[in-house]
Amino acid sequence: MLESKITIDPFLKMVKVQNEKDAMRNSLKAALQRNKTYVKDISQTDRQRFRSSWASLITESAKIYSTPLADDKQHCETIAKISEKLSQDYAHILVGGYLRFGTSQKAFNLYLKFLWRLDIENFPAPPHCPVDGVVLKAANLQGSWTKCNSVEQYMKWIAAIRKQLTIHSTLAEYEYDLWNKSARNQS
């Protein structure tokens, strides 16, 4: 079943994600690339410890999403808790001493998207989508997810994106369709 979904799903095929381990690696990489997160001259060991802790927090937090979760407040609290815990434990290696909310939401929302698309144990569509430059541009929204450290700003973006949804669409489906259209245009 999992193999057939991967060959059918153009997103998973293009990003080469076949399992949860791939999903986590890709989620963290996507949240960190082109995003100044670490202070200068930190060791590879510190980076690896940080990423390992981040992966553990995301994996643990994702467990409550195995059934549909529609509560924006609870979702934002989960993202904030991940950011706060990592900021507390790794302030010495993070720019400004904290992991920005925008960086945390990108990794967490993307990981939930992967679980949904992989159809891991019938994982439902996540309540939000990864908010990044592609999504912001498509929704004609200003700002940079990499600099966002505000739940309020993030929720303004989510509300604006929701206004663009069709009656049968969710944020996750909207972003998934947007991603596939963008990927086709780049090919």
Structural domain boundaries in the chain: 2-186
All residues at 6 or more sequence positions from 35 whose CB lies less than 8 Å from its CB, including other chains? 103, 146
- 145 residue type, one letter: W
Backbone angles phi, psi at 12, to 5 degrees: -60, -40
Backbone angles phi, psi at 94, to 5 degrees: -100, 135
Backbone angles phi, psi at 72, to 5 degrees: -60, -40
**Tokens encoding 38:** 């670490």
What is the reported pTM?
A: 0.92
**Residue 6: what pLDDT?**
43
Do 157 and 141 meet the contact criterion of CB atoms below 8 Å apart?
Answer: yes
Tell me how far the alpha carbon of residue 35 is from its chain's centroid. Answer: 14
**Residue 8: what pLDDT?**
67
The model's pLDDT over 87-138, given as tens digits with 9 standing for 90+, comes to 999 999 999 999 999 999 999 999 999 999 998 888 999 999 999 999 999 9
Which residue do the tokens 């791939």 mark?
22
- 68 residue type, one letter: P
Closest CA to 144 of 134, 152, 155: 134
Percent pLDDT > 90 in the chain is: 78
* Cα 101 from Cα 75, distance rounded (Å): 12
Distances (CA, A) of 9 to 4, 17, 65: 8, 10, 21
